[in-house]
């Protein structure tokens, strides 16, 4: 996916061992369609060579304000004017102090100070020892840099190059990349709290076996990511899947339909949008065996009784209507045939404003999908595309439908 097509990123490296991660970040940005101009402090060149970053970016690397390649001898002006964003990764404690004080004694700090602040954001990915990170001076400097308009991308927790463990290490390249992509997405859900259910449920027969389905959770996880990109607070209630949690999303892991219902009802109290993408089992065993159900030699399976699971979307929607609340509910229907007919009937039965239909066998476990949007006015198709692309389209569609009372 060319998430950053047409974007020009200035990637600034300052002194720190985390510079090795910047090479992978540069590669990810270029792969996503961005042009990347690397600028490095002299200290950064002690950790990774400009040659490496030049090879990965496909552009000469700038390290000095006296670089003669610029016709007007002003790289600190030109580089910032051309950028859609300046990303500092890694940003050392020393460099953050320079930004806080407005010092500009080398190219990269000059570039940051001279950039047009109203249209060229500064995204900062700190990297330092845990003691340096927690020092009051560093925290004061971080607060000042943020007050001056920079966007902090946070730090990771874990083992550091010095052998200690704690906060302060630079986020991983994939995490930074996701944050950078999210920065450029329209914030159409700013101020909203979106609740998403995703994945299958697992209904246990005994301690070994159970009933589930082929849902991978990919569509629901993509919707959670897209909603977070759009500026919402996002809570994701996930069935038993192995998908990585999207950046900035609160994840609640559940197993059975009853577990998912309890979590959905609890978190719906604070939500303004509920998107029920989970493929919830319609039935569960009436009783769970405490031990593995063994074959008895008869050649016949054991007799099993089932009871119907609660309807999570219907329960949440009815509860919201009874309270007179403002929760905007969106349902999903995974069918194997007659999609339009079943989706229309399901939307009316649930009493919700929007239902999204898809053909289950064509989407479960896949990276691509096509969606059918069904509302009181009719049916509209979102053609087959990567699930994240569809998730962003769906989020944008939901934003246009939110009642005025729910807007920030």
According to the model, what pLDDT value does residue 369 have?
A: 86
Query: CA-CA distance, 219 to 214, in Å (whole number)?
Result: 13
- Within 13 Å of residue 144, how many CA atoms lie on the same side as its CB? 14
Query: Does a cis peptide bond (omega within 30 degrees of 0) precede residue 359?
Result: no
Where does CATH 3.40.50.10300 sit in the chain? Answer: 193-406
Tens digit of each residue's pLDDT (9 = 90 or more) over 53-88:
999 999 999 999 888 787 887 888 889 999 999 999
Catalytic residues: 162
Instruction: Please tell me the distance from the alpha carbon of residue 368 to that of residue 343, in angstroms, as a whole number.
Output: 20
Q: Which tens digit of pLDDT belongs to each residue from 276-293?
A: 999 999 999 999 999 998
The per-residue pLDDT for range 166-218, each reduced to its tens digit, is: 999 999 999 999 999 999 999 999 999 999 999 999 999 999 999 998 889 99
3-state helix, strand, coil in the chain (%, to 5): 35, 25, 40
| pLDDT score recorded for residue 404 | 57
Residue 342 has pLDDT above 90, yes or no: no
pLDDT tens profile 115-154? 999 999 999 999 999 999 999 999 999 999 999 999 999 9
- 335/31: higher pLDDT: 31
- Report how far Cα 181 is from the mean position of its chain's Cα atoms: 9
**Per-residue pLDDT at 406 exceeds 50:** no
Considering the entire predicted model, what is its pTM? 0.90
More confident position, 342 or 260? 260
pLDDT of 405 above 50? no
Could you give the CA distance from residue 136 to residue 140 in angstroms, rounded to a whole number? 6
pLDDT of residue 273: 97
Mean pLDDT of the chain: 92
pLDDT at 46: 97
- What's the pLDDT at 27? 98
Give the pLDDT confidence of 30-51 residue by residue, as tens digits. Answer: 999 999 999 999 999 999 999 9
Mean pLDDT calculated for residue range 11-16? 97
Pairing of strands 122-126, 85-91: parallel
What architecture is the 193-406 domain classified under in CATH? 3-Layer(aba) Sandwich (3.40)
DSSP state of 404: G
**Separation CA 156–CA 167 (nearest Å):** 6
Query: How is residue 302 annotated by DSSP?
Result: P
Half-sphere CA count of 246, side-chain side, radius 13 A:
28
**What is the three-class DSSP state of 336?**
coil
pLDDT for 76: 87
Residue 221 has pLDDT above 50, yes or no: yes
Answer yes or no: is pLDDT of 266 > 70. Answer: yes
Task: Tell me the backbone φ, ψ of residue 70, rounded to 5 degrees.
Answer: -80, 125
Q: Place 367 in a pLDDT band, splitting at 50, 70 and 90.
A: confident
Q: Which fold has domain 8-183?
A: Rossmann fold (3.40.50)
Distances (CA, A) of 136 to 131, 139, 140, 190: 10, 5, 6, 31
Residues of the chain with CATH 3.40.50.1950: 8-183
How far is residue 165's CA from residue 345's CA, in Å, rounded to a whole number?
Answer: 55
Direct distance between the N- and C-terminal alpha carbons of the chain, in angstroms, rounded to an integer: 31
């Amino acid at each position: 996916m060319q998430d950053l097509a047409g974007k020009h990123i200035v990637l600034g490296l300052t002194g720190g061992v985390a510079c090795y991660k910047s090479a992978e970040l540069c590669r990810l940005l270029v792969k996503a369609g961005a042009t990347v101009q690397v600028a490095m402090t002299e200290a950064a060149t002690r950790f990774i060579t400009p040659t490496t970053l030049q090879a990965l970016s496909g552009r000469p690397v700038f390290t000095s304000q006296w670089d003669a390649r610029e016709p007007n001898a002003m790289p600190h002006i030109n580089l910032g004017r051309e950028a859609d964003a300046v990303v500092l990764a890694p940003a050392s404690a020393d460099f953050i102090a320079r930004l806080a004080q407005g010092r500009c004694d080398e190219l990269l700090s000059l570039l940051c100070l001279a950039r047009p602040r109203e249209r060229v954001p500064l995204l900062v990915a700190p990297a330092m020892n845990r003691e340096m990170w927690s020092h009051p001076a560093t925290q004061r400097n971080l607060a000042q840099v943020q007050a001056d308009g920079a966007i902090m991308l946070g730090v990771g927790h874990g083992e550091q190059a010095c052998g200690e463990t704690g906060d302060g290490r630079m986020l991983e390249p994939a995490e930074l990349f996701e944050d950078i992509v999210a920065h450029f997405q329209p914030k159409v859900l700013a101020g909203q709290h979106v609740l998403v259910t995703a994945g299958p449920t697992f209904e246990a027969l005994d301690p070994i076996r159970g009933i589930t389905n082929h849902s991978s959770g990919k569509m629901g996880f993509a919707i959670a990511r897209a909603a977070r990109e759009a500026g919402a607070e996002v809570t994701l209630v996930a069935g038993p899947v192995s998908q990585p949690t999207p950046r900035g999303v609160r994840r609640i892991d559940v197993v059975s339909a009853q577990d998912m219902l309890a979590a959905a009802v609890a978190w719906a109290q604070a939500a303004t949008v509920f998107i029920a993408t989970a493929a919830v089992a319609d039935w569960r065993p009436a009783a769970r065996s405490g031990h593995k159900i063994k074959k008895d030699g008869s050649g016949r399976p054991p007799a099993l009784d089932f009871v119907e699971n609660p309807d999570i979307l219907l329960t949440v929607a009815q509860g919201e209507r009874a309270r007179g609340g403002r929760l905007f509910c969106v349902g999903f229907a995974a069918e194997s045939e007659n999609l339009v007919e079943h989706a229309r009937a399901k939307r009316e039965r649930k009493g919700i404003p929007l239902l999204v239909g898809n053909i289950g066998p064509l989407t479960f476990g896949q990276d691509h999908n096509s969606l059918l949007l069904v509302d009181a006015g009719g049916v509209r198709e979102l053609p087959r595309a990567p699930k994240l692309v569809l998730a962003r389209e769906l989020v944008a569609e939901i934003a246009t439908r939110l009642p005025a009372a729910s807007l920030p």
